[in-house]
Amino acid sequence: MSDPGHAVSPRTPPTLVPKGARYALALVALTNAVSLLDRQILAILAPAIKADLHVGDAEMGLLFGTVFALFYALFSLPLGRLADGWVRTRLLAISLLFWSAATALGGLANSFGVLAASRLGVGIGEAASQPAGTSLIYDYWPKRRRGFVMAVIASAIALGIGGSLALGGIAADWWDGLARAGRAPIALHGWQFALIVAALPGFALALLMWRLREPIRGEMDGIDTAPDPHPFLASGAVLAAVLPGLHWVGMSRRNATRASWLFNLGALAVIVAAMAGLTHVANGLSPRPPLSILGMTISAHALQWGVIGFGLFVIVNLMQSMRLSDPQAFNVTMRSPTLLMAMMVGALQSVLNYGMMAFNPSFIIRYYHQSMKDTAWQFGLVAAVMGIIGPLVWGPLSDLLQRRFPGAGRAWVALFAMAVSPLLSFWVYLAPSSGDFYFRFIFYSLVLTGWMPPLYAIIYDQVLPRMRGMTSSLYLLVMTILGLGIGPYVVGLLSDATGDLRWSMLGINAVGIPIVILMLLIARRAQRDEDALIERAAGV
């Protein structure tokens, strides 16, 4: 963990955008685009993968969410800590190389197990992208422009998502055409070729990122930040502190109190019981044949809820460890109701977003009888264009409203997007034809894309510059385990159980109710908690 003795020395922060900031933002944005390209490409390839590997929607939900989510969330913690102390440009470059290689490995997969191992590698590599990228770019841009900054990042994410559909579908269709004509140079399925193509941009981007200038940490916030003398040791300590089993060694070395031991073991017992119960319920709703992964046979539902339980226990371990080793970070995090509520909002919104995104192409192919190629370029184009335009409208608007209504301005923008979009989704997904669907989706996506820029700006303004990597990692852990890990799986589970993918997707909108309640509370107290940041850091 970070050194708890870090002093906070506030001064007047710069307000001008420094030289090189726009180039740095472009590289970080492209890193996010490539990340989502490699992460989401399975969505358009799902029908072909299901046919070749003989798996169902629930198993595809595991690949979209659970298998990726476990390692993405777990490794985001030590890599987030490393981003708080090491050279972030180098960390991002190495991560790009790693996950691009793992994506290419998926192109050689001939079984569900090998494909799952590939997604595992993608999860580990991408775990550094958001913590390091966010921390890096916040040290290039002044506070007054961060809604715009997060809008650019959100637009890049949309570009990656849309690009994954277009690139994946078109590349797979082209290669399958060559194979049918007997002109394919090597024996690969179209979906395998698409994964190899998707891996290529990351290698070039890694070289550019390696050469980017590392900014001074904390300068744009007016908060001096001392260099970390041992970032790798601190990163390893974070992993050891949260990894189930090893964390007990750490607790023993720190002479944890009897109450800490009882809380930890009690939490473990509750989590195990809850996950066993959910596995039983899932097996009753949708019995699935066992999966063979790396030579082991395991129930798909047991794997799903085992991963979720593992992630929840990691969260428990992280907070206990932070309280012992970095009380300043613990106070800054746990004494900000706005930060905690915003993280929960992001997790709930991710249940909805990832649950819908994972099955959008399958929905269009199944209900509107479009080919994979037509779905790829039509839906991919609409999703990419609207995903780029939307955040670039909402991000600057949230900056403007934030200056007019401190604290509440950004919150109201996020609230509008997250309250209205679930209602619009029924109008969209009940469209009678593909043309109506695409037309309605334009308005739906324009509203939906308004949530991310303001919410992320709220989250990162609640913590010190030295904590942004770990804050991002904590958020990713909560969002990934509860959002990405549950959303696609639940939609796939309900689809397998009912045979109705459309209503399985629409049903996930129920999470909009608690989102609205939490955002109303955030709007009331966000500025109060941000103003109290220095007091929280000082333990006041």
Residues of the chain with pLDDT > 70: what percent?
92
What residues form DSSP beta bridges with 404? none
Instruction: Look at residue 478 and tell me whether its pLDDT is greater than 90.
Output: no
**How big is the CA angle at 265 (ends 317 and 272), to the nearest 5 degrees?**
90
b/e map 328-354, b = 16+ CB within 10 Å = bbbbbbebbebbbbbbbbbbbbbbbbb
Instruction: Look at residue 20 and tell me whether its pLDDT is greater than 50.
Output: yes
Report the C-alpha gap between 301 and 312 in whole angstroms.
Answer: 17
* Most confident stretch, 138-147, 176-185, 220-229, 449-458: 449-458
Residue 116 class from Cβ within 10 Å (0-12 exposed, 13-18 middle, 19+ buried)? buried
What residues form DSSP beta bridges with 527? none
- Evaluated on CA atoms 129, 135, 141, 144, the torsion sign reads positive
Specify the pLDDT at position 307: 81
Could you count the other beta carbons within 10 Å of the beta carbon of residue 284? 10
Report the C-alpha gap between 391 and 7 in whole angstroms.
Answer: 36
Q: Which of 313, 311, 294, 291 is nearest to 302 (CA)?
A: 291
Q: What is the 3-state secondary structure (H, E, C) of 291-359?
A: EEECCEEECHHHHHHHHHHHHHHHHHHHHHHHHHHCHHHHHHHHCCHHHHHHHHHHHHHHHHHHHHHCC
Q: Which two tokens stand for residue 230?
A: 């041992």
Average pLDDT, the chain: 84
Q: Where are the beta strands (DSSP E) in 113-201?
A: none
What residues form DSSP beta bridges with 298? 291
Domain parsing of the chain, residue ranges = 21-217+229-537
Q: How far is CA 444 from CA 168, 343, 421, 437, in A?
A: 24, 23, 6, 10
Mean pLDDT of 184-196: 84
Distance of alpha carbon 285 from its chain centroid, rounded? Answer: 28
Report the C-alpha gap between 232 and 212 in whole angstroms.
Answer: 21
Give SS3 for 55.
coil
Instruction: Look at residue 217 and tell me whether its pLDDT is greater than 60.
Output: yes
Q: Spell out the residues 6+ positions from residue 317 whose beta carbon is closer than 8 angstroms to its own.
A: 241, 242, 243, 244, 247, 264
Give SS3 for 516.
helix
Instruction: Look at residue 224 and tell me whether its pLDDT is greater than 80.
Output: no
Contact 527, 406 (CB under 8 A): yes
Specify the pLDDT at position 295: 60
Query: pLDDT tens digit string along 449-463?
Result: 888 888 988 888 888
Q: Which two tokens stand for residue 484?
A: 């990405």
Specify the pLDDT at position 67: 67
In the chain, the amino acid numbered 431 is A
Instruction: Look at residue 1 and tell me whether its pLDDT is greater than 50.
Output: no
pTM, entire model: 0.72
Q: Which two tokens stand for residue 199?
A: 């891996």
Q: Which of 527, 250, 285, 499 is nearest to 405 (CA)?
A: 527
Q: Phi and psi of 211, rounded to 5°?
A: -90, -5
Q: Spell out the residues 6+ positions from residue 271 whose beta carbon is closer than 8 angstroms to its own.
A: 309, 312, 313, 316
Instruction: Look at residue 5 and tell me whether its pLDDT is greater than 50.
Output: no
Report the C-alpha gap between 499 and 514 in whole angstroms.
Answer: 28
The conformation of residue 499, written as its DSSP 8-state character, comes to S
Report the C-alpha gap between 481 and 486 in whole angstroms.
Answer: 7
Query: pLDDT tens digit string along 232-285?
Result: 888 888 888 888 888 888 888 878 888 989 999 999 999 999 999 998 888 887
Q: Which of 484, 448, 449 is nearest to 350 (CA)?
A: 484
Q: Which of 294, 368, 309 is nearest to 486 (CA)?
A: 309
Report the C-alpha gap between 384 and 509 in whole angstroms.
Answer: 22
Contact 476, 342 (CB under 8 A): no
Could you count the other beta carbons within 10 Å of the beta carbon of residue 433? 10
Report the C-alpha gap between 404 and 144 in whole angstroms.
Answer: 12
Report the C-alpha gap between 390 and 154 in whole angstroms.
Answer: 9
Instruction: Look at residue 4 and tell me whether its pLDDT is greater than 70.
Output: no
Report the C-alpha gap between 427 and 273 in whole angstroms.
Answer: 39
Q: Which of 536, 80, 85 is nearest to 327 (CA)?
A: 536
Could you count the other beta carbons within 10 Å of the beta carbon of residue 436? 14
CATH 1.20.1250.20 holds for 21-217+229-537? yes
DSSP string, 387-413: HHHHHHHHHHHHHHHHHHSTTHHHHHH
- Evaluated on CA atoms 133, 138, 144, 145, the torsion sign reads negative
Specify the pLDDT at position 179: 78
Query: pLDDT tens digit string along 462-471?
Result: 888 777 777 8
Specify the pLDDT at position 62: 67
Report the C-alpha gap between 264 and 90 in whole angstroms.
Answer: 36
Q: Which two tokens stand for residue 140?
A: 């290039």
